Structure 1
Amino acid sequence: MSKWVIKLGGAVLNSDNAAQALFAVFAEHPDDQFIVVHGGGALVDTWLQQAGFASAKHLGLRISPREQMPYIVGALAGCANKQLMGQALAVNLTPVGISLFEAGVTSTQKLKALGQVGSCETGSFNLLPILLEKNVLPIVSSIGFDLEGNWYNVNADEAAAAIAQALDAELIFMTDVEAVLDQNKQPLHQLNSGQITQLIDSGVILGGMQVKVETSLLAAQHLRRGVYISSWQKPENLNALLKGEHVGTKITP
C-alpha cells in the first residue's frame, strides 16, 4: 500500500467536474491511500475583489493582511474545500474536509511584510493516520493555525510537502500546466538542483512556479526521492503516475 499526497491547484475548481475526474482515478487504486491538499487562489481573488480589497503577491506568495483573513479563510477552508468534498462524494468516496492543524501542521508568521502568511511546522496533533485507517479521503485546505489560535494563509505547495514529509508519502503537484517549461515553452521532463537554480537565475522560472519548483526540490531532498509536477487537466496523467510511469516534470534531489 502506498500513500500519496496530491496537491491540487485551485484552478481545478474553475473547470466543471475536473476534480471529480481526478477523484475517480483514486477509486481505481483502492489499495492506495490518498490525501488531497488544495489552494484556491482564483476564488480568493474573486472574494477579495467583491469585498473591495486589492490583491498583491510577493515572490509568488499572496500578501495576506489580517483584515483580509476572514475572506481568505472562507474561500479556502469553506467554499473551495466543500466544493472538492462534493466532487469526491460524486464518485462514492468518503471525504472529510480539514485544515492544516488537524493534518499535523502548525504555522507561524513567515514574514511581517506578508501579513498572515504562515510557515509549516510539525504539530503534536494529527488526524490523518486515523482518517486513512478508516478509508476516508482527507481534503486539506491550506489554512493554518498557531497555538494561540491565529489564522494563517499557507502556500498550498509548502503545505503538501510538509504533509508528505510527515507521512513519508509520495508527492504529486497537479497544476494547470503539463510540466515545467523551458525558455522555448517546451516541457522539461526532469530537473535537479543545479538546473533549477540556473532556470530561476535566468528568469525562465518565476512567480508561483518558482515557489512550486523550489518547494518540490526541498520535498525531494527530504523524502530522498523524486517529486512530480503534472497537469490536473488530464486525469490519465495522474493514473500513469500512480502506476510508476514518468509524466510531467520529475524533480530529483
Structure 2
Amino acid sequence: MKTWVIKVGGAVLNQDDAATELFKEMAKIATCHPSNQFILVHGGGALVDRWLSDAGFATAKHQGLRISPKEQMPYIIGALSGCANKQLMAQAIVANLQPFGCSLYEAGITVTQKLKALAQVGQCQVGKAGVLPELLAMGRLPVVSSIGIGPDGQLYNVNADEAAEAIASALGAELVFMTDVEAVLDKNKQPIRHLNAEGINMLIETGVIVGGMEVKVKTSLRAAQCLRRGVYISSWQKPENLSFLVGGKHAGTQVTP
C-alpha cells in the first residue's frame, strides 16, 4: 500500500462543498487505485481568526506563524480540533468515507515549544506512528488537526504544514500540500513547475515568496530532503489534481531535495 498525507488549509471550509469534492476524489481513487490510502492533515486559520476576533482578541503573526498566547489556546483548540475537524469529518461522511478525527498526539507526534516569543506554538518531534497504521488497516480516513500535546501536558498550536511533514516522515508517506492556489507563483504570477533549495532561497530573498507561502515552501523542502523524494504543492480547488498525482502525472509545483 502507498500512503498519501494530504494537507489542506482551513480555507477549504469557506467554499461550499469544496472539501466534499476533494473527499469524493479520494473515494474515487480508493475504488480505481485500491493500493493507495490517505491521511488528511488540516489547519483552520480563517476560522481561528474569526473565533479570536469574536472573543475580542487581536491576532499577531511572526514569519507566517500565529503567536498563540495561553489565554487564546481554548479558542484555537476549539476551532481546530473541534469545529474544523468535525466539519471535515462530516463532509468526508457525505463522500461515503469513514473518517476518524484526532490530534497530533494520537498520530504519534510529540510536540515541544518552538520559541518562547511565539508562546504556545509547537514544533514536532517525529516519534512512533501512533494509531494511524491501525486506522488505515481498518479502512478509516484519519483526519488530523494540528493541535499537539507536549510531554509536560502543555497544549500547542502547530503549523499544519509542519504537522503534515512530521506525519509523512514518521510513515515514509507521499506528501501533498493542497492550498488555495494551483502552484507556487513566480514574480509574474505564473505557476512554477519545479523548485529546489536554490530556487526557493532566491524567491524568498527577492520577496516573491512571503508569509505563509514561505513557511510552506521551506517545510516542503525539508520534507523532500527527509523523505528523499519530491513533494507537491497543489490546489484543493482542483481535486482532480490528486488523481493526477496518484497516477504519476504532474500537477502544481514539485519541490525536490
TM-score strictly above 0.5:
yes
What residue is the counterpart of 1:189 in the other structure? 193
Check the 8 A contact 1:142/1:159 in 2, yes or no: yes
Distance in 1, Cα, partners of 2:66 & 2:180: 18
Distance in 2, Cα, partners of 1:148 & 1:198: 39
- The Cα of 1:122 is off from its aligned counterpart by 2.2
Question: Structure 1 residues 124 and 244 mapped into 2: Cα distance closer, same or farther (>3 Å)?
Answer: closer
Residues 129-186 of structure 1, C-alpha deviation per residue, up to 9 Å, x if partnerless?
1101101000000000001211100000000000001100000000000100001111
Distance in 2, Cα, partners of 1:143 & 1:240: 30
TM-score (structure 2 length as normaliser): 0.97
Aligned positions of 1:85-104 closer than 5 A: 85-104=89-108
What residue is the counterpart of 2:18 in the other structure? 18
Distance in 2, Cα, partners of 1:21 & 1:69: 31
What residue is the counterpart of 2:158 in the other structure? 154
Distance in 2, Cα, partners of 1:102 & 1:157: 17
Distance in 1, Cα, partners of 2:82 & 2:119: 21
- The Cα of 1:216 is off from its aligned counterpart by 0.1
Distance in 2, Cα, partners of 1:60 & 1:242: 30
Residues 53-77 of structure 1, C-alpha deviation per residue, up to 9 Å, x if partnerless?
0001000000000000000000000
Give the residue type in structure 2 aligned to 1:160: A
Which of 225, 233, 243 is the equivalent residue of 1:239? 243
Distance in 2, Cα, partners of 1:175 & 1:23: 15
Check the 8 A contact 1:101/1:125 in 2, yes or no: no
What residue is the counterpart of 2:176 in the other structure? 172
Q: Structure 2: 5+ residue runs without aligned partners?
A: none
Aligned positions of 1:45-84 closer than 5 A: 45-84=49-88
Distance in 2, Cα, partners of 1:232 & 1:205: 20
Distance in 2, Cα, partners of 1:59 & 1:71: 22
Distance in 2, Cα, partners of 1:105 & 1:124: 7
Distance in 1, Cα, partners of 2:153 & 2:95: 35
Check the 8 A contact 1:118/1:153 in 2, yes or no: yes
Distance in 2, Cα, partners of 1:148 & 1:193: 35
Which of 115, 124, 135 is the equivalent residue of 2:139? 135
| SS class of match (1:216) | helix
- The alignment yields a C-alpha RMSD, in angstroms, of 0.8
Which of 242, 251, 254 is the equivalent residue of 1:250? 254
Q: Structure 1: 5+ residue runs without aligned partners?
A: none
- The Cα of 1:124 is off from its aligned counterpart by 4.6
What residue is the counterpart of 1:29 in the other structure? 29
Distance in 2, Cα, partners of 1:158 & 1:190: 20
Distance in 1, Cα, partners of 2:26 & 2:129: 26
Residues 186-213 of structure 1, C-alpha deviation per residue, up to 9 Å, x if partnerless?
1100001101011111111010000000
TM-score (structure 1 length as normaliser): 0.99
What residue is the counterpart of 1:227 in the other structure? 231
Distance in 1, Cα, partners of 2:128 & 2:212: 30
4+ aligned runs moved over 3 Å, structure 1 = none
Larger deviation, residues 123-132 vs 85-94: 123-132
Aligned residues: 253
Check the 8 A contact 1:107/1:120 in 2, yes or no: yes
| SS class of match (1:212) | helix
Distance in 1, Cα, partners of 2:129 & 2:239: 33
What residue is the counterpart of 1:119 in the other structure? 123
Check the 8 A contact 1:101/1:123 in 2, yes or no: no
